[in-house]
Chains A and B, each alone.
Chain A
Amino acid sequence: MSDQFSKDQEFLLPATGTFIVLSIAAALLLNWLPWQGLWLALRPDFVALVLLYWCTHKPHRIGIGIAFIVGIFADVADSSLFGQHALSYSVLAFGGIMLHRRIQMFDVREQPLQVFPLLLASYTTFAAVHWVTGGKISWEYFLGCLTSALLWLPMSMMLQSMRRTRIDPDEL
């Protein structure tokens, strides 16, 4: 199963702009659901995951600039300080672009471990801004980092399968 994911990379459909935009929009909507309490702490950051997916798989199309713009949108929706999400997503995108060959080298089951430090860096950036401006950190915030890393596997498999051709290449 896992071999299939790494082997047929060449047969993936080119990712169209609309598909990328739609996937990011869907992730934003998932983030904007009314999460509360412990669920909010456990909520994986869908936007960060989708951005990281595109940064590692299409590093020439989705870069730090787009991550920054998406971050600004997230800032407005969460009424956090302007630039807080933007900063953490920029750091994440940079990590994804620098390490995209390394991450793609690994099997899809081993990728969460590779992705985790990047997510942690982005979460830490976000919390650090809070710490500088507000003077406190709630540690349960970092739980979201773990769940995000766990969600990487199903999510990248899902996006990968959506980019695969519908028609079986062996048919003809």
Chain B
Amino acid sequence: MDSTQSFRFFNRGPSAAARLIFFVLLSLLLLFIDARYKHLESIRNVLALPIQATQRLVTNLITQPGLLWDQFNDYLDTQGNLARENIQLRQQHTVYATQLLQLQVLQAENAHLRNLFEVSQQADFPMQMAEIVYHERDIFKRKVYVDKGSQKNVVAGQVVMDETGVIGQVTRVYPWLSEVTLITDKDHAVPIQVLRTGLRAVVFGSGNISNLALRYMPISADIQVGDELVTSGIDGTYPPGLPVAKVIQIERDPAYPFARILCSPLAGVDQQRQLMIISGLHKLPELPPAETIPAEIKGKKSRRSKQ
């Protein structure tokens, strides 16, 4: 094949520059379509199947020796350690048992009150366990992949949490994998409520591992360091009442209209391996039809909002 090269003096097809322009335009077109529309998802899914299979194989080959070593260590774990752990767990168990009793009483009371107020019962959210397979290899993003996909009825938009709080949201579903965007991902928004005061707000990821930002809160907002933020459930995506973050720092500079509020996520966003996927997509009543606004005002409004 190589030897035939010398005979083709002039018919090498279009020049390198022409090819570059063609492929650059093609990839720009793909970029545009992928960023704006969802047409390419099916192609991506088809291509992803073999790629993810090999990726997983390679990852397993690399991590398997580590797992074996862990098991060996477990085997060597001394009896003393186990006994100590046992005592600790027993103590914890008694604490939890008493708390559970209280919880049952509270639940009964709560159900009663809800019936009184004719508030529709909050649904029990079905959940399933999933395990992190690997991290996103893109330095610009905070994403992980978990081992449950559309075969296990995972749907994009479901909420992912560990036992202490919200970790993120399923953003893309493959047949056997799904992609979870962590709440610390840049500009990932979670609608929340301050537990102490009931103040509603939206918390944004800052792209940093350990920080979330509470933006657009007026300086006078009643918020303190140590306040716990839970999901408000107003958006219909996140079930209400899941712990999200804790306020760690507040800067009130009168020169700016908004306070700078930093929060740290409550869940071990970068520590856990086992996660829970919660389907919190309960049916909300439909939005009332938008009022028909006269065209002039509408034009003005949109212009203002663009500024």
Q: Using a CB–CB distance below 8 Å, which chain A residues touch chain B?
A: 14-15, 17, 29, 31-36, 40-41, 60-61, 63-65, 67-68, 71-73, 76-84, 86-87, 90-91, 94, 97-98, 129-130, 133-134, 136, 138, 140-141
Contacts and interface: CB of A to CB of B under 8 A. Distances in A.
Given A68-B27, A82-B34, A98-B16, 16 more contacts: A14-B3, A32-B51, A32-B54, A35-B137, A61-B2, A64-B16, A65-B23, A76-B47, A79-B44, A79-B143, A79-B179, A81-B30, A81-B34, A82-B40, A83-B28, A83-B29
28 contacts: A14-B1, A14-B3, A32-B59, A32-B137, A34-B62, A34-B134, A40-B139, A65-B23, A68-B23, A73-B47, A76-B48, A76-B51, A77-B52, A78-B137, A79-B136, A79-B143, A81-B30, A81-B31, A82-B34, A83-B26, A83-B28, A84-B31, A91-B24, A94-B17, A94-B20, A98-B16, A138-B140, A141-B139
B180 to A, nearest CB: 11
Given A76-B51, A134-B140, A33 B62 contact: yes
Contacts of A34: 59, 62-63, 134-135, 137
B44 A136 contact: no
A97 B16 contact: yes
Given A87-B31, A136-B186, A138-B140, A36 B135 contact: yes
Contact of A77 (B5, B51, B135, B207): B51
Contact of B59 (A33, A84, A134, A140): A33
The interface size bin for chain B is 35 or more
B139 A140 contact: yes
A64 B34 contact: no
